[in-house]
Amino acid sequence: MNASLQNDFIRMKKKITEDNQKKERKVTSGPIRDKERTKARMIAAVGKVIQKKGYHALNGPNIALECGLNKALIWNYFGGLDKLVEAYLTQKDFWQIGDKGVLEQMISNPNDISVDLINELLKSQLNTFLKDKTKQKIIHWGLGEKTKALKNISDRREMLGEELFKYIDPKFKDSDDDPRAVLALLVSGIYYMSLQAKATGSTFCGIDINTEEGKARIERSIQRILEQTFKEQLK
């Protein structure tokens, strides 16, 4: 893992674990605020280009046209197109942003990690990827193309996961169960079923998760698998 990613993750972890910090007075005007607004416009423009033209159309001119700004600002404010795209992906990544309340609780208080919390997180993942078209497009993009920005986001997800496994792994030291493999299958299965259901509208093993009944069947099965794997270790 490169030093930049490691430092980014340390900053992210510090932000998550710091509780009840005194908030600084918000700056409502001036050069700093104007710069942040401009950066926010450019990040939003990345999403608009993806929605309108697809991720293959992500380039300086298209982004500048969408936000009505000079493309030179991409390099001035972000250091390049990859960093701008990465900033957008970070804002949209489920594991870093999407269900922050549950992840914050797990990382800040690892002794509170439970079957119910993990189940809540995976249930949220399922519902998010069934509804959020932008997140669906990002996962499709990650499967079909290799870019530095996508690789960095993937690495950060893994680093976040390792923070949780630091607590979970020792509890399975003398067990035949493999929590990493179980969670890998569940998380990847949720990704695939969600994308497949929305892309084709068809069923999977006869289950239609576009319906409440079908989705509920998957949610119940996820909970049963988690209980069978973790009930003894995460009491």
Gap between the Cα atoms of 153 and 145, Å rounded: 14
Could you say which DSSP state residue 202 is in?
-
pTM of the model: 0.78
Structure confidence at residue 21 (pLDDT): 47
Structure confidence at residue 94 (pLDDT): 84
Structure confidence at residue 157 (pLDDT): 86
Q: What is the pLDDT of residues 144-181, one digit of tens each?
A: 888 888 888 889 889 888 988 999 999 999 889 999 99
Structure confidence at residue 144 (pLDDT): 81
- Mark the ranges of the chain whose per-residue pLDDT is less than 50: 19-28
Of 104, 144, 155, 97, nearest in space to 125 by CA:
97
Of 33, 14, 17, nearest in space to 25 by CA:
33
The token duo for 221 is 């099965």
Structure confidence at residue 111 (pLDDT): 84
Gap between the Cα atoms of 186 and 192, Å rounded: 10
Structure confidence at residue 133 (pLDDT): 86
Structure confidence at residue 213 (pLDDT): 96
Of 167, 208, 8, nearest in space to 90 by CA:
8
Looking up tokens 């794997």 gives: 229
Structure confidence at residue 142 (pLDDT): 84
| Contact assessment for residue 207 and residue 196, using Cβ atoms and an 8 Å cutoff | no
Gap between the Cα atoms of 121 and 101, Å rounded: 9
Which residue type, as a one-letter code, is found at position 182? V
Let me know the angle formed at the C-alpha of 199 by 196 and 201, rounded to the nearest 5 degrees. 80
Structure confidence at residue 20 (pLDDT): 40
